[in-house]
Amino acid sequence: MIIFDPIERALWIIAIILMIFCSYTFLNRARKSDISEEKHIMYGFTLFVLFFSISRLIFFIADYFIIGNYSGHSYIGDISDTNPTFDYLNIIGHVVWMIGMIIFFYSFETTVSFTKYIFTIIGVLITGIVSFQINLRYFAIIYFIIVLSFILIYLSVKSSRELKGVSAFMFTGILFAAVGAFLTTWTIKEIIASIFPGIPPLLYIIGALIIISPNYLSQKYLTRALPIWILLAIFLIGFMLFTPILINIGNFPIIVVILIISLNFPALIILIYTIYRIIKIFQYKENYYDITKDDTQQKDFLKLFTKPSKLTEEEISISKEKKICLVCKNEISRENYICPKCKAFYCLKCSRTLTTMENACWVCYTPFDESKPVIMPEKKKKEDIIIDKVDHKSI
């Protein structure tokens, strides 16, 4: 079979460089973010893309250790005829992208509490097993793709407006790259090589361009990402229709067949969510996150960090005596914040969130960050009234 040719090599070089540039772009987005939770997740996503790029570079180098010979400009070889160097590079390549996934899972789970780091722990165990039994990598691929799909959907639903605005691009770009990785599986690559060996890197290039495009598009276009959602739906439907055809024309091992069938599950979940978003856009004829319902959900999501209308002395004393956070009422861990003036207790997460909002202690109004202004309740209430008046006039 054709292992590679000059066009395929050139496309892979472009794809790898583009993915590294993509990780650099998300690093800049993380630095500019004012919300600590989003910044943490974006740092994790940056490392995920970077490690994915490194893994593709390792696989790129590993191809040269397949025993074969040149026929014209193409390198012809047999994947079953390799040397130990190829085997080691193949294992390292898979472990590297799995580590990138684990880092992203960990960055996500540090901002939420309901998963209890289950995704990260299972990912570490699977990576350890695959490093010794590379043939089990197919089950690892299924696990990581399912969890990644869940996280992206969760972020799209729960995160702030900025992240929602690019969720369609993230979904579509990652999907293109995932299908490109799927087509590099050697049993499938043999079929692809007979058509055009450059299809996988071409999908990577398209995916990387889609992911970084929000950084170069106007906010007006990002808030109406209907074409991207439609493209994502078409691509998902095409992938799900293509998988049974691929199984019929290919003589695949049972493990590869299980992988192909299993990938339809996360594809179906993402397709349902994509159709839901498309319906929302058509229904309200405006950006999906500007509708009243979604704004209400965003306020409810941040309700925990909104100061009560009246904070009693009993609540304050209980917080100090039992050493519980004044905001979320959870017990204080080792990492916490104590107001230097009134000695009120805050957990680290709540103190960071309040710093980005009113930047004041709920008891004595001492600023969390002295370099930032303090938004007093009276001032905040006045601003809300002005905003309401503007909204009524616009209606």
What pLDDT shows up at residue 343? 80
| Candidate CATH numbers 1.20.144, 3.30.40, 3.30.70, 3.40.50; the one for domain 306-394 | 3.30.40
Calpha distance 354→327 (Å, rounded): 9
Higher pLDDT, 206 or 337: 206
Model confidence pLDDT, tens digit, residues 106-152: 998 988 878 889 999 999 999 999 999 888 888 888 899 999 988 88
Of all residues in the chain, what percent are helix, strand and coil, respectively (each to 5)?
Answer: 70, 5, 20
State the virtual CA torsion across 304, 309, 312, 315 in degrees, nearest 10.
Answer: 0
* Most confident of the ranges 93-107, 224-238, 306-320: 93-107
pLDDT tens-digit map of 280-317: 777 655 443 443 344 434 433 333 344 454 566 777 77
Mean pLDDT of the chain: 78
Q: Check residue 219 and give its pLDDT.
A: 59
- Considering only CA atoms, which of 195, 144, 197, 194 is closest in space to residue 174? 144
Token pair listed for 333? 């861990």
Model pLDDT for residues 51-60, shown as the tens digit of each residue: 999 999 999 9
Q: In the prediction, which pLDDT does 261 show?
A: 85
| Domain layout of the chain by residue ranges | 2-293, 306-394
Residue 223 pLDDT greater than 70, yes or no: no
Which helix (H) or strand (E) segment holds residue 219: the answer is helix 219-222
Q: Give the tens place of pLDDT for each residue, 2-13.
A: 778 889 899 999
Looking at per-residue pLDDT, the higher value among 394 and 89 belongs to: 89
Outline where DSSP puts E strands in the chain: 2-4, 66-71, 74-82, 336-338, 345-347
Q: What is the largest CA-CA distance in the chain?
A: 84
pTM assigned to the model: 0.67
